[in-house]
């Protein structure tokens, strides 16, 4: 399925390859629906609670996969916080 062309909003680097982040109308629509149905503040608090609960019940960072998960979640939290900041 062909994707609709969209607006280039940022240059990004993923896995050593540089490209442009393109957001088409469908991505914008889905982001709007997501933010409306999952308020960023609530989402952020719930994800942080889930992470802390997981760390406590699984014995901390002993599991190797948690380091990658923490790194990815930190970026997600930054994005959620920025969305919330722009809504306030």
The yes-or-no verdict on residue 31 having pLDDT over 50 is: yes
- Average pLDDT across the chain, whole number: 78
The yes-or-no verdict on residue 1 having pLDDT over 70 is: no
pTM of the model: 0.59
Residue % of the chain over a pLDDT of 70: 82
The residues near 58 (Cβ < 8 Å, ≥ 6 apart) are: 66
The rounded distance, in Å, linking the Cα atoms of 25 and 44 is 25
pLDDT on residue 33: 92
């Amino acid at each position: 399925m062909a994707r609709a062309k969209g607006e280039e909003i940022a240059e990004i680097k993923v896995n050593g390859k540089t490209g442009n982040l393109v957001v088409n109308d469908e991505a914008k629509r889905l982001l709007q629906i997501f933010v409306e149905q999952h308020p960023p503040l609530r989402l952020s608090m719930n994800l942080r609670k889930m992470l802390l609960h997981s760390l406590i019940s699984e014995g901390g960072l002993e599991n190797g996969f948690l380091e990658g998960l923490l790194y990815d979640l930190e970026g997600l939290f930054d994005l959620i916080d920025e969305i919330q900041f722009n809504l306030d």
